[in-house]
Amino acid sequence: MEAEYRFLQYDTVVVGSGAAAFNAADWLHDLGRRNFALLTEGVKMGTSRNTGSDKQTYYKLSIGPDGSDSVSEMARTLFSGGGVDGRIALAEAANSLRCFMKLANLGVDFPTDRYGRYVGYKTDHDPRQRGTSAGPLTSHDMTEALEASVRRKGVPILNHLMAYRICQTGGRVRGILCLDCSAAAENRLRLVAVAANHVIWCTGGPSCCYRNVVYPASQTGMTGALLDAGAKGVNLQEWQYGLASTKFRWNVSGTYQQVLPRYVSVDAQGNCREFLTDYGLSPEEAVNLVFLKGYQWPFDAAKKDASSRIDLCVYEETAVKGRKVFLDFRQNPAGLAAGFNVLSEETYRYLKNSGALLSTPIERLKKMNPLAVRLYQKHSINLETDMLEINVCAQHHNGGIQVDPNWETAVKGLYVAGEAAGTFGVRRPGGSALNSTQVGSMRAAQHIAWTSEESKPQTSGWLVPPKRLAAEAAENLGRMVGPEDTVSLVRERLQAEMSRVAAQLRDLSGIAALKRELDAYRANFQQKMGVSSIRRLPLLIKTYDMMATQSAVLDAMEQSAKLFGSHGGALVRDRDGTVLPDRSAGQNLQLITSEKGDGFFSFAKEAPPIPQEREWFETVWEEHRKYRRPKVPQNRPQNESGASKTEKGVEE
Ligand SMILES: Cc1cc2nc3c(=O)[nH]c(=O)nc-3n(C[C@H](O)[C@H](O)[C@H](O)COP(=O)(O)OP(=O)(O)OC[C@H]3O[C@@H](n4cnc5c(N)ncnc54)[C@H](O)[C@@H]3O)c2cc1C
């Protein structure tokens, strides 16, 4: 098959265009780097730009009125999530204010009081009031502000390039291989090889693993390429799942639950009924648990007999009984038939204080959160007349690629920041994912600027020269274009199976069977997978990557089940159907996963503790002058930058 080829060279390349990627590019420029570019499969794609929640939270060191927070205390909170690297927890805490203030200075509208204080609120797993929010679209606003800053600085942005292979030799990154998605859209095969001394990979969470997700449709991730290149996974089994609407993807937390909607299921014949009472709950119990779901949103194995029972009921109705589940705001649930006096004191007080002891859920919602009603209206869903379809959905990958405190992976020069990096463990404070996107990307840019001078990457280190590598890749891809298009069907089935056996409810025999199936596909990918045109190659490549990621995630899940049983965001069922108890008490282990032969191998190790060394200003200062200054002058004028020379890269 005829293929076009392009070759680019940069000292550093940033992959992605979410909050992490734009921040990495912005910092590289501020640290004096000029020979770099940001490349992305789609500037407007990804989670940061396209998601949100009721009050999307940003977690940072508290600088609120009571002022009694500290870096050490915040690090301890992050570390207490279980399986967290203490050095990373410390870095995320130490750099959180700097990153937060940068966003505020770029115009992200975090609210202050009349004296300029950033008054915070408590989010989940947060002993202080470290949460803040710029509204329902905090991550969107961050991304737009960072993108504007990057564009003002003239950083080259290469759009519609899908990076899918990382080239490394001798444990050092050499560059990446990309598919040109614009050319593919015109049915032309065009590969772009990018030689680079450093790569900052910010491709976001691997949402492609599951069918039921609240991630935006434009986010799929590309984690398998990192594992294939020799980077290791950490805590890959740790995800966050919760109830979300599926037509318009949005978490149904907070007031959506606290107004006490009916939980209704509809079978294939269209029979519609309230179902929570089928699962051993009295109507009154059901109502009070639904209320708790409002602020205990993520599925939590420890709450399986409390608020997380609601998620389990929804799972049973959808995944096991094949029904559709809806929230109905038009009528009261059966539990309220006798009025509000069945409510727990907490629920009653909340509704009373909100002035919302009103006749129907929709009346209560309009009173307590009219924006929530309008949001769905904007997406053509009228909660006054329509039921809202929901499911238990994957929302965040707490695990990911293992990085060190500079966000460098096991492959030298290869950095991973944002959700693709595994900086969390079992639990994390709400909002800390956004903090991590900023701290990780800044640390990666700093480490590059502090430890190396910019230089043109040499291609002599490539095992196979870039042009030949691209030609071979084109040939392989070309061979998979033919009459049979199997990719969508297989992809969707695997995703559905992941949601059925390997999400918040994990079934060990299902996981083992799925893993075998994935390994068989991976071993014979070229023979088993095909697409009908070049236009479909992006999906084929994504599917290859998805299979690698799923396989690694399942391996970690199996190990985790053996070591920890049911814990965090997952309840595990043994091969005979019994639910495993939580065996993780008293341990603080990380699960590391790496490629071995054709599959993956996971093992546990003690989570590195928070560094305790006492620092002395004079020694830190000396060290700082020696090691933590950019190798090129910061803020040099644009005309010295060489940016125009490198804007299009150097063609071979
Ligand atoms: C519904 C929802 C609510 C959330 N609420 C919160 C919250 O309140 N607080 C919080 O802290 N976190 C929250 N999160 C999580 C948080 O939004 C994400 O973790 C974060 O935005 C991820 O940012 P990122 O830059 O790592 O990745 P993304 O923003 O997902 O960006 C990834 C980028 O990489 C690009 N890309 C992917 N693959 C490739 C490839 N192969 N080649 C080139 N480019 C590629 C994508 O197009 C995209 O531009 C929420 C998530 C969801 C889904």
Minimum CA distance residue for ligand 1 atom 17: 48
- Among 140, 208, 434, which residue has the most ligand 1 atoms within 8 Å of its CB, making it the best to mutate? 434
With tokens 């194995």, the residue in question is: 301
- CB crowding 607-634: b at 16 or more within 10 Å, else e: bbebeeeeeeeeeeeeeeeeeeebebee
For residue 284, report the distance from its CA to the centre of ligand 1, in Å. Answer: 38
pLDDT band of residue 66 (cuts 50, 70, 90) is: confident
Please tell me whether residues 371 and 254 are part of one structural domain: yes
Supply the pLDDT for residue 648: 42
Q: What angle do CA 78, 82, 87 make, to 5 degrees?
A: 50
Supply the pLDDT for residue 632: 73
List, chain by chain if needed, residues with CB within 6 Å of any ligand 1 atom: 15-21, 40-42, 45-48, 51, 53, 56-57, 139, 162-164, 202-205, 214-215, 219, 221-222, 251, 395-396, 418-420, 431-434, 437
Minimum CA distance residue for ligand 1 atom 49: 17
- Average pLDDT on 584-588 reads 91
Helices 508-523 and 537-564 pack at an angle, to 10 degrees, of: 140
**Residue 561 covered by a domain:** yes
Supply the pLDDT for residue 55: 87
Supply the pLDDT for residue 167: 97
Supply the pLDDT for residue 641: 42
Domain that holds residue 519: 482-587
- Among 419, 539, 544, which residue has the most ligand 1 atoms within 8 Å of its CB, making it the best to mutate? 419
Minimum CA distance residue for ligand 1 atom 46: 46
CA 479 from centre of chain: 33
User: pLDDT tens digits for 260-291?
Assistant: 999 999 999 999 999 999 999 999 999 999 99
Supply the pLDDT for residue 343: 95
- Confidence check: pLDDT of 603 > 70: yes
Distance from C-alpha of 263 to C-alpha of 482, rounded to nearest angstrom: 46
For residue 202, report the distance from its CA to the centre of ligand 1, in Å. Answer: 9
- The sign of the dihedral angle between the CA atoms of 506, 509, 510, 516 is positive
Indicate the residue among 359, 379, 395 that finishes a domain: 395
Distance from C-alpha of 12 to C-alpha of 579, rounded to nearest angstrom: 48
- Average pLDDT on 315-333 reads 97
Residue 593, beta-bridge partner list: 233, 602
Burial category of 587 from C-beta neighbours within 10 Å (exposed 0-12, middle 13-18, buried 19 and up)? middle
Supply the pLDDT for residue 93: 98
Tokens of 539: 């999906």
Other Cβ atoms less than 10 A from the Cβ of 475: the count is 12
For residue 616, report the distance from its CA to the centre of ligand 1, in Å. Answer: 38
- Confidence check: pLDDT of 640 > 50: no
403: left (phi over 0), alpha (psi -120 to 50) or beta: beta
Please tell me whether residues 251 and 386 are part of one structural domain: yes
- Confidence check: pLDDT of 72 > 60: yes
By the 8 A CB rule, do 39 and 13 touch?
yes
For residue 240, report the distance from its CA to the centre of ligand 1, in Å. Answer: 14
Please tell me whether residues 522 and 380 are part of one structural domain: no
**Residue 186 covered by a domain:** no
pLDDT band of residue 95 (cuts 50, 70, 90) is: very high
User: pLDDT tens digits for 234-264?
Assistant: 999 999 999 999 999 999 999 999 999 999 9
- Among 49, 51, 181, which residue has the most ligand 1 atoms within 8 Å of its CB, making it the best to mutate? 51
By the 8 A CB rule, do 118 and 61 touch?
no
Q: How do strand 4-15 and strand 190-201 relate by DSSP bridges?
A: parallel
For residue 205, report the distance from its CA to the centre of ligand 1, in Å. Answer: 6
DSSP 208: G
Give the range among 383-387, 462-466, 568-572, 589-593 with minimum mean pLDDT. Answer: 462-466
Distance from C-alpha of 74 to C-alpha of 602, rounded to nearest angstrom: 29
Supply the pLDDT for residue 542: 98
Helices 466-479 and 537-564 pack at an angle, to 10 degrees, of: 90
Return mean pLDDT, the chain: 94
For residue 14, report the distance from its CA to the centre of ligand 1, in Å. Answer: 15
ipTM associated with this complex: 0.99
Distance from C-alpha of 6 to C-alpha of 471, rounded to nearest angstrom: 11
CATH number reported for the structural domain that contains residue 536 in this entry = 1.20.58.100
**Residue 166 covered by a domain:** no
- Among 396, 397, 428, 543, which residue has the most ligand 1 atoms within 8 Å of its CB, making it the best to mutate? 396
CATH number reported for the structural domain that contains residue 294 in this entry = 3.90.700
Supply the pLDDT for residue 634: 53
DSSP 602: E
Atom of ligand 1 at shortest range from CA of 44: 49
Helices 487-501 and 508-523 pack at an angle, to 10 degrees, of: 160
**Residue 128 covered by a domain:** no
pLDDT band of residue 123 (cuts 50, 70, 90) is: confident
**Residue 506 covered by a domain:** yes
Indicate the residue among 545, 569, 587 that finishes a domain: 587
Minimum CA distance residue for ligand 1 atom 27: 204
- Average pLDDT on 523-543 reads 97
Please tell me whether residues 357 and 494 are part of one structural domain: no
129 closest CA partner among 120, 117, 138: 120
Please tell me whether residues 259 and 378 are part of one structural domain: yes
Residue 177, beta-bridge partner list: 165, 193
For residue 422, report the distance from its CA to the centre of ligand 1, in Å. Answer: 13
Atom of ligand 1 at shortest range from CA of 250: 1
Atom of ligand 1 at shortest range from CA of 251: 1
Query: 3-class DSSP state for residue 398?
Result: coil
- Confidence check: pLDDT of 461 > 90: no
For residue 48, report the distance from its CA to the centre of ligand 1, in Å. Answer: 4
- Among 203, 297, 403, 437, which residue has the most ligand 1 atoms within 8 Å of its CB, making it the best to mutate? 203
- Average pLDDT on 513-542 reads 97
**Residue 114 covered by a domain:** no
**Residue 31 covered by a domain:** no
Indicate the residue among 395, 414, 442 that finishes a domain: 395
Q: What is the DSSP string of 569-600?
A: TBEEE-TTSPBPPB--TT--EEEEEEEETTEE
Tokens of 427: 């639990």
**Residue 208 covered by a domain:** no
The single-letter code of the amino acid at 320 is: V
For residue 151, report the distance from its CA to the centre of ligand 1, in Å. Answer: 20
Please tell me whether residues 383 and 252 are part of one structural domain: yes
Please tell me whether residues 374 and 498 are part of one structural domain: no
For residue 504, report the distance from its CA to the centre of ligand 1, in Å. Answer: 21
- Average pLDDT on 515-534 reads 96
By the 8 A CB rule, do 219 and 204 touch?
yes
Distance from C-alpha of 539 to C-alpha of 609, rounded to nearest angstrom: 41
Distance from C-alpha of 193 to C-alpha of 465, rounded to nearest angstrom: 10
Please tell me whether residues 257 and 386 are part of one structural domain: yes
Number of domains in the chain: 2
For residue 341, report the distance from its CA to the centre of ligand 1, in Å. Answer: 43
pLDDT band of residue 644 (cuts 50, 70, 90) is: very low
Long-range CB contacts for residues 150-154, cutoff 8 Å, separation at least 24: 150/22, 150/25, 150/26, 150/29, 150/38, 153/26, 153/29, 154/638, 154/641, 154/643
Please tell me whether residues 261 and 385 are part of one structural domain: yes
CB-based contacts of 433, cutoff 8 Å, min separation 6: 396, 419, 424
Burial category of 392 from C-beta neighbours within 10 Å (exposed 0-12, middle 13-18, buried 19 and up)? buried
Supply the pLDDT for residue 295: 87
For residue 159, report the distance from its CA to the centre of ligand 1, in Å. Answer: 17
- Confidence check: pLDDT of 391 > 70: yes
Please tell me whether residues 246 and 387 are part of one structural domain: yes
For residue 643, report the distance from its CA to the centre of ligand 1, in Å. Answer: 28
Supply the pLDDT for residue 64: 80
Q: What is the DSSP string of 163-196?
A: EEEEEEETTEEEEEEEEEHHHHHTT--EEEEEEE
- The sign of the dihedral angle between the CA atoms of 539, 543, 549, 550 is positive
pLDDT band of residue 124 (cuts 50, 70, 90) is: confident
Distance from C-alpha of 139 to C-alpha of 151, rounded to nearest angstrom: 18
With tokens 């770029």, the residue in question is: 106
Supply the pLDDT for residue 32: 96
- Confidence check: pLDDT of 652 > 90: no
The pLDDT > 70 percentage for the chain reads 97
64 closest CA partner among 147, 156, 128, 157: 128
- Average pLDDT on 193-209 reads 98
